[in-house]
Structures are given as C-alpha cells and as structure tokens.
C-alpha cells in the first residue's frame, strides 16, 4: 500500500529527476516524445512497485538505469520493426500479391503487432528475442539476466496469450491452408 509519505517521496523524485532523465533518454533515442513517454512509464513502474524498490534502492541510480534500459528496449524494438519491414518489402518485391491479399496481410500483421504490444514487458522482450532475433533460451536468459526456466515460462505464457488474442486469424489461416 502506497502511503502519503511514499507518494510524497515519488513526487519529489519526479520533480528532481524528470528533466535529467528525459535528457538521458533523449540522448539514446533522439526522440523527445518517446523519451518523455519512457520516463513517465519508469515513474509509473516506480509508483507501482515502490514498496519492493524502496528498501534496496539508491533511487537516482535506479531511475537512470531503468530509463537507460527502457530507452534501449525502445531502440531494439525500432530495429526489429525496421528489419521486419525490410523483410516484408523484400518479400513483396519477390512476389506480386493481389491487392486484396496485400490488404489482408497488412491487417494481419497489424493485429499481430498490437497483440504483441499488449504483452507484459518481460514476456514481450522474451518473445521478440526468441522469434525476431532468433536467440536461444539460454542466450535470452543471459541477456535478460533471468533463469532459462523463467524465459521458458515467459515465452510459453506469451504464446498462449497470442494464440487466444489472435484465434480468429489462426482459424482463417487454417481454413485457407486446407483449401
């Protein structure tokens, strides 16, 4: 339970460090609006997890590291999106897709993208590293600084969520494959 004293401490941290953290993120992302969102998200996470963080933290170091990690995650996500868009463009160059199929494919990709963005941050990072970066579970565990079993759990839960979220797409694909 967040107390009034805790809320006051978080407000003081926000007032003291927001602009410095914004500049820290901006140096990495070169995107002011995204940097602003990253810093705000970090403060939301601090507020949500204050009781777990507070006894162990040098808040300034914690905030800078959290903003740095979130900024780098954002850049990784942009890199993956660019790589995906290039692959799609190369595929489209190789094949002439009828306009209707192209629209369906674009809509499907958007739905998948939105579904992946609904995942909790750690699930999303694990699934992206596995499926897009093609890393093995032990490599993901090292990169995320967690156990391999935790990576397996994250990916399993993420895939289950995506199957449920995208069930209608999966059914459509199954029907088309059987034709």
Kindly report the CATH number that applies to the domain delimited by 1-71: 1.10.1740.10
Question: Looking up tokens 């694909």, which residue turns up?
Answer: 173
Kindly report the CATH number that applies to the domain delimited by 96-179: 1.10.10.10
Task: List pLDDT tens digits, range 1-48.
Answer: 566 777 888 888 889 899 999 999 999 999 899 999 999 999 888 888
d(CA 11, CA 84): 40
Question: What local confidence, expressed as pLDDT, does residue 115 receive?
Answer: 82
- Read off the pLDDT of each residue in 143-148 and give the average, rounded to a whole number: 90
- Read off the pLDDT of each residue in 79-98 and give the average, rounded to a whole number: 72
Transcribe 18-77 into DSSP letters.
Answer: HHHHHHHHHHHH--HHHHHHHHHHHHHHHHHTHHHHGGG--HHHHHHHHHHHHHHHHHHH
- Tell whether pTM > 0.75: no
d(CA 68, CA 78): 15
Closest CA to 119 of 73, 152, 155, 83: 155
Residue ranges of domains in the chain: 1-71, 96-179
């Amino acid at each position: 339970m967040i107390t009034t004293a805790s809320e006051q401490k978080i407000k003081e941290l926000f007032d003291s460090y927001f602009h410095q953290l914004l500049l820290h993120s901006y140096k990495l992302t070169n995107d002011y609006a995204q940097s602003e969102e990253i810093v705000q998200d970090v403060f939301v996470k601090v507020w949500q997890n204050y009781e777990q963080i507070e006894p162990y933290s040098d808040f300034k170091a914690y905030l800078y590291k959290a903003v740095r990690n979130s900024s780098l995650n954002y850049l990784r996500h942009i890199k993956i999106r660019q790589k995906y868009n290039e692959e799609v463009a190369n595929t489209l160059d190789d094949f002439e897709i009828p306009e209707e199929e192209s629209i369906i494919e674009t809509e499907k990709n958007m739905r998948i993208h939105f579904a992946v963005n609904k995942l909790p941050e750690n699930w999303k990072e694990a699934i992206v590293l596995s499926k897009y970066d093609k890393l093995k579970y032990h490599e993901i565990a090292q990169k995320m600084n967690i156990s391999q079993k935790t990576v397996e759990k994250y990916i399993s839960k993420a895939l289950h969520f995506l199957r449920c979220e995208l069930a209608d797409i999966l059914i459509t694909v199954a029907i088309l494959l059987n034709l």
